[in-house]
Homo-oligomer: A and B are copies of this chain.
């Protein structure tokens, strides 16, 4: 494991707060080691820093109560969803109380006419879509994991559909949140747009629990499209695939998904998902619209692909075939692990202007080879966003060091290309130094906002803002 930053613990405060919370919540205040460690453990290579206690909150009032007790004693509060973040977001470097929000899992309202819904933070995206299905509606954001919508809002999640439907910043209409002093606020109403003052909604989206604990989310929904068509196309090189992506976006084809798998990923997918794809770079696509619309989109893409040397274009309207393709895409992490059994998969992501994508992916592949790393690449390339999953033997210090070198190099490269060190993984503990490299003086003003809204630094301390 990679060492996480330490922070001083307020032992006296923690003891007092735990005492008060024990009286209030009794057995519901969990202090067992297993449950605590589980709540610091995520899909990351950063070591686990467990909280001192975990409470499963049942409603906003309880969250506010817990925050007030912690505020009174200056004790950290860490909000927790499904624990699928990647950069140590839920670690407790100064200890404190973890609020697990997964029991707050009700869909509170669906307003079909307004294409919105109101959910508690513990509703997962799959649960929401199951709930919506018979209403002809869906929520499009899909970060891969079956994450909680509270966590997705808190980390400004996106994923495969973002090229068409945007990220969480575009799909959260309003939030209810418990602020650092325990005050419950609502950042907006259900109007589709508003110019009523500072955009607290989008300030909280992506704030990773450091400015408030999200307790209710009003989300924008979409009608399930009349027609959905999936497609795939192979390319002689990453460069050719990226040129096809660029032309598709520029041409205004409203692709719902356009995903790149590099050669190594295609090999992994063939082996793991029993596919028979040509082992060259691949684009996977999905088109949403009317029957005529998706046919037109698929045709336009096919001719663009052909122009840059694409081959084996195949489109399908069969739900079964489509699910098979996307399951292979979603299983990519597990498929890649099979390229080197026993290795740990270390994921990092960057996002660059699409004109620099081919160059960035090409350089990333070359650098991995130079450092002797296996680092397959998949990408939400319509947004210029891609992921490298290094396969590392964590018992070999040299490999860990090479992986750290690679991540630092890749983040710097993306920044130098006018891109970002984190397209969708957030900052957590891991990306803090790169955010400073990327945004410079602006980070000081983020710090000022944090200090203003959370003067005692109790909300998820040690994340986003580098100390």
Contact = CB atoms under 8 A, between A and B. Distances in A.
Interface of A: 111-116, 155-158, 162, 166-167, 169-170, 179, 183-200, 202-203, 205-207, 211, 222-223, 225-226, 246, 249-252, 290, 292-293, 296, 351-355, 383-385, 414-415, 418-427, 431, 434-435, 438-446, 448-453, 464-465
Most interface-central of A383, A439, A464 (chain B CB within 10 A): A439
A459 B20 CA distance: 44
Nearest to A170: B170
B246 A186 contact: no
Nearest to A201: B202
11 contacts: A114-B354, A155-B195, A158-B193, A162-B193, A188-B439, A190-B353, A192-B385, A195-B423, A195-B427, A197-B464, A198-B464
A191 B353 contact: yes
Given A186-B439, A196-B420, A252 B222 contact: yes
Most interface-central of A206, A211, A353, A431 (chain B CB within 10 A): A353
Most interface-central of A189, A292, A443 (chain B CB within 10 A): A189
Closest 5 CB pairs of A and B: A452-B452, A194-B420, A113-B355, A202-B202, A191-B351
Given A113-B246, A420-B191, A445-B185, A438 B196 contact: yes
A385 B442 CA distance: 34
Nearest to A448: B452
A167 B449 CA distance: 24
Contacts of A116: 353
A337 to B, nearest CB: 24
A306 to B, nearest CB: 19
Contacts of A185: 439-442, 445
A449 B198 contact: yes
A453 B442 contact: no
Given A419-B190, A425-B195, A445 B353 contact: no
Contacts of A448: 452-453
A312 to B, nearest CB: 25
A288 B416 CA distance: 36
Contact of A422 (B195, B434, B441): B195
A446 B195 contact: no
A180 to B, nearest CB: 10
B186 A440 contact: yes
A443 B179 contact: no
Contacts of A290: 296
Most interface-central of A156, A195, A422 (chain B CB within 10 A): A195
